[in-house]
Structure 1
Amino acid sequence: MLRFVVRRCLLVLPSLLGLLVVTFLLIRVVPSDPAVAMAGDAATPEQIERLRQQYGLNRPIWEQFVSYVGKVATLDLGESAFSRRPVAVDIAQRLPATLMLTFCALAISVFVGVPLGVIAGLSHNAWPDYLLRVFSVMGIAVAAFWFAIMLQLLFSMELGWLPLRGEISATIPRPPRITGFMVIDAMIAGRFDVVADALRHLVLPAVTLSLGGLATIVRFTRAGVLDTMQQDFVFYERAMGYRRWRLNWIYVLRNSVTATVTQIGLLFGGLIAGGVVVESIFDWPGIGSYTVQAILTGDRQVMLAVTLLVGVVYAAVNILTDLVHGVLDPRLMERG
C-alpha cells in the first residue's frame, strides 16, 4: 500500500505543474495591469513602474513563472498585493472556515444521499424511485446562487429562523483561536452559546452547498444498487433466506458504493471550488470569499495560490479514494 501511495504522489506532481502553467498563462492573458490597480487612479507613472519592478511584473512571463515555481517548491506562495501579507498566512486563517463548511456539506450529501439512493434502487420504477429521480435532476439543475437566495428569503427574512449571513453573530464575543474551526474552538473554551450560534449560521450555507452533491450521490448509489441486485450472489442469498434488511443494507450496499465513493472523493474538491459562490452570498469568511475579493482586485498571487490549493486537495482526495476502493474491494489494490 505504501508503494501505491508513493507512486500516486509522484504522478500528481506533473499534474500540479501543468495546472500552474495553465493558470499562470490564463491570468496573464487577462488585459489588466496589477501594478495600476495596486497604485490607484492618482498614481504617477513612476510609482506604477516601481511597483512593477517590486513584484517582478516587468520581467518576461517565462522568467516570472520559473521564479514562482521555485518559490512554491519552498512553500512560499508570495505576498498579497492588497493585504500586504503572505498569501499562505491569509489562506491558513481562512481555510478552517472553508473546511468546516465543506465537511458539513459533504456529510449531508453522504448521509442523506446514500440511503435515498438505496431506497430508489430497491423501489425500482415505483413511486419513491420516480420521486427521487425527479429530485436528483432538479438538484443538479438548480443554480447554487438561486437556491441560496431562496433559502435566505424563506428561513432568514420571512420566518426568521436562521441567520442571514456570517459565521457568528456580531454581538457574541469570539472564542480564542486555537484550531481555527469556530465550533471546535468554542467547545474547547466551554462557550456552548457560541457553538449553538455557529451551528445556526452553518445550516443554510451547508445545505446550499450540499444540494448538487446530494443529487449526484443519489443517482450513482441508485445505479450501483440496480446493478448489484442483478448479481448471482443476491439471488443465492435470497434463496438461502437472508433477512431482507441485512441483505440490502450490508451486502448489496457494500457492493454498490464503489462508484459512489469515487463521486464522494471528487465532490470534496468540487465543494471547495464551488464554495466560492456560496461563501460570497452568505458572507462566509473562507477561501471562497477570499478568492472573489482577489479576482475583483486582480490579486494574481492569491488566484494562483487558491488554484494550486484546490488542485492539491483534488489530488489528495483522489489518492484517498483509491485507498478506500482497495478496502472495499482488495482486488483493485492488487491490480495496482
Structure 2
Amino acid sequence: MSLSSVPSKGKGGRRLLARHPLARFLLRRTATAVLLAFGVTLVTFILTNLVPGDPAAAALGQRAVGDPAIVAQFRHHYGLDKPLPLQYVTYLGNLFQGDLGESQQSHQSVLTDLSTAVPATLELAGAAIVVSLVVGVAFGVVAALRRDRFTDQLLRVVSLLGVSVPTFWLALLAFYVFFYRLGIAPGSGRIAPDLTAPPHVTGLYTVDAALAGQWQVFWSAAGHLVLPALVLTAYTVGLLTRFTRSAVLEVLGQDYVRAARAKGLPGRTVLFQYVLRAALVPVITVAGLAFGALLSGTVLVESIFAWPGLGAYAYRSATTLDLPAVMGVGLVVGIVYLTVNLAVDVLYGVIDPRVRVQ
C-alpha cells in the first residue's frame, strides 16, 4: 500500500469536521471568541487609561499628593511610571499568568476581590434569569395563543409596566414595603448577620451551604436572594414576554404549522414540537443579552440591598480610580458577554440545523 493511500491526520480531521457540521460550527465560534477576548483586553486597557483624573490623588489623598517622593513610590509600585505600551505588555503578560494586578483600595489581588464579587452577582443574576425565562416565555406563549383577548391585553400591560418602571425605584419601593413596613422579607446582605458564610467552594452561598449541609445558612441565603432577584426579574419578564409573543405569533402564521394542524396533530404536539422550537431562536438572543446585562448592570440594585457583588465593586473602583480593579471588572464583563454569545450560538446550532450548515 502506497503512502499516498494512507489518510493523514489533517485530512482525517477535516473529514471529521465535514461529517459533523455542529463541531465545525462550534470550532469557528470558539476561535472567534478567543480573538474577541484579546480585543477586550486592549479596549479595556485603553479606555481605562483615558479616564480623566490622577489615580495617585484618588488613592493617596491631597495631602499625600503634595509629597513627590510618596507619589513617585506609588506610581512605581503600580507600574504607572512606565509608558502605556509597556504597561499594556506587562498587563497582558501578567494576565496570562492569572494575575490581574493589585487593587489600590483593598491592597489585595484583584482576582481575590473578583472571586468574591462575581459569584455574588452570578447567584443573583442566575436566579433572576431562571425565573424570567420560565415566567416570561409562559406569559408570551399564553398572550400569543389568546391574541387580542382579555388575557392578551392584560399580559401586554403587565409586560409594558415591567419594562417601563425604573429598576432602582422598584428596588427602593420593594425594600421599603416588604422589609421596612411589612417585615416579611429579610434585610440587606447575602445572609443574616448572626450567621457565618459557608465554606467557599463555588462562591454561591446557597450552593455552598447545601454542599456543607448548613441548612440554616441555606434558607437564610435563599431568603435574602428572593427580593433583589424578583426586582431584577420584573424588567426581564416584561422583555421576554413581548419578544416571545411576537416570535410565537410569527411562527403560528407559517405554512408548516397550518399543515401540522390540518393533519390533525394534537395542539400540544404542534405547540411544543413545531411552534416553540422555531420561536426560541430570537427568544434565546434576548435572554442571552438580558443575562449579560444582569451580570454587568446590577449596580443600583446591589447598592440598595447591600449586595456585595460585581456592580458594587465596580462602583467603588470607578469612584476611587482604582485602575487595576476597573480593568479587572471590564475584563470580566467582556468575557461574560463573549461567553453568553458563544452559548447562544451553540444553542442556535442545536435548535436550528440551518445555522450549522450556514
Same fold (TM over 0.5): yes
| Offset at residue 270 of structure 1 (A) | 1.2
**TM superposition score normalised by structure 2:** 0.88
Offset from partner CA, 1:235-284 (integer Å, 9 cap, x none)? 22222222223322442112211100111122221110112222122111
Which position in structure 1 is the counterpart of 2:292?
269
| Offset at residue 69 of structure 1 (A) | 2.4
Determine if the alignment matches structure 1 residue 10 to structure 2 residue 34. Answer: no
Give 1:318's aligned amino acid.
N
Give 2:51's aligned amino acid.
V
Which position in structure 1 is the counterpart of 2:58?
37
Determine if the alignment matches structure 1 residue 204 to structure 2 residue 234. Answer: no
Which position in structure 1 is the counterpart of 2:74?
51
**Residue of 234, 245, 253 corresponding to 1:230:** 253
Which position in structure 2 is the counterpart of 1:153?
176
What is the alpha-carbon root mean square deviation over aligned residues?
1.7
Determine if the alignment matches structure 1 residue 182 to structure 2 residue 205. Answer: yes
Larger mean CA deviation between 245-254 and 232-241 belongs to 245-254
**Residue of 283, 297, 304 corresponding to 1:260:** 283
CA distance in 2, matches of 1:216, 1:142: 12
| Offset at residue 33 of structure 1 (A) | 1.0
**TM superposition score normalised by structure 1:** 0.94
Offset from partner CA, 1:185-233 (integer Å, 9 cap, x none)? 2112222121111111001111112222211111111111101110112
| Offset at residue 312 of structure 1 (A) | 0.9
| Offset at residue 184 of structure 1 (A) | 1.5
| Offset at residue 314 of structure 1 (A) | 1.0
Give the secondary structure class of the aligned counterpart of 1:256: helix
CA distance in 2, matches of 1:23, 1:179: 27
Give the 3 Å change call, closer, same or farther, for CA 323–13 of structure 1 in structure 2: closer
In the TM superposition, 1:242-257 aligns within 5 A as 242-257=265-280
Determine if the alignment matches structure 1 residue 65 to structure 2 residue 93. Answer: no
CA distance in 1, matches of 2:342, 2:354: 16
Give the 3 Å change call, closer, same or farther, for CA 263–105 of structure 1 in structure 2: same
Does structure 1 retain, via aligned residues, the 8 Å contact 2:29–2:345?
Answer: no
Give 2:283's aligned amino acid.
T
Determine if the alignment matches structure 1 residue 97 to structure 2 residue 111. Answer: no
Which position in structure 2 is the counterpart of 1:111?
134
Does structure 2 retain, via aligned residues, the 8 Å contact 1:225–1:256?
Answer: yes
Structure 1 residue ranges without an equivalent (≥5): none
CA distance in 1, matches of 2:227, 2:41: 34
Which position in structure 2 is the counterpart of 1:216?
239
CA distance in 2, matches of 1:117, 1:84: 48
Does structure 1 retain, via aligned residues, the 8 Å contact 2:296–2:310?
Answer: no
In the TM superposition, 1:102-141 aligns within 5 A as 102-141=125-164
Give 2:108's aligned amino acid.
R
| Offset at residue 299 of structure 1 (A) | 0.7
Which position in structure 1 is the counterpart of 2:104?
81
CA distance in 2, matches of 1:241, 1:169: 56
Structure 2 residue ranges without an equivalent (≥5): 1-21
Does structure 1 retain, via aligned residues, the 8 Å contact 2:128–2:233?
Answer: yes
| Offset at residue 140 of structure 1 (A) | 1.8
Give 1:4's aligned amino acid.
F
Which position in structure 1 is the counterpart of 2:324?
301
Does structure 2 retain, via aligned residues, the 8 Å contact 1:140–1:211?
Answer: yes
Give the 3 Å change call, closer, same or farther, for CA 14–23 of structure 1 in structure 2: same
Which position in structure 2 is the counterpart of 1:20?
41
Give 1:26's aligned amino acid.
L
Q: Percent of aligned pairs with the same residue?
A: 40
| Offset at residue 133 of structure 1 (A) | 1.9
Equivalenced residue count is 335
Give 2:23's aligned amino acid.
L
Larger mean CA deviation between 17-26 and 192-201 belongs to 17-26
Give the 3 Å change call, closer, same or farther, for CA 233–4 of structure 1 in structure 2: closer
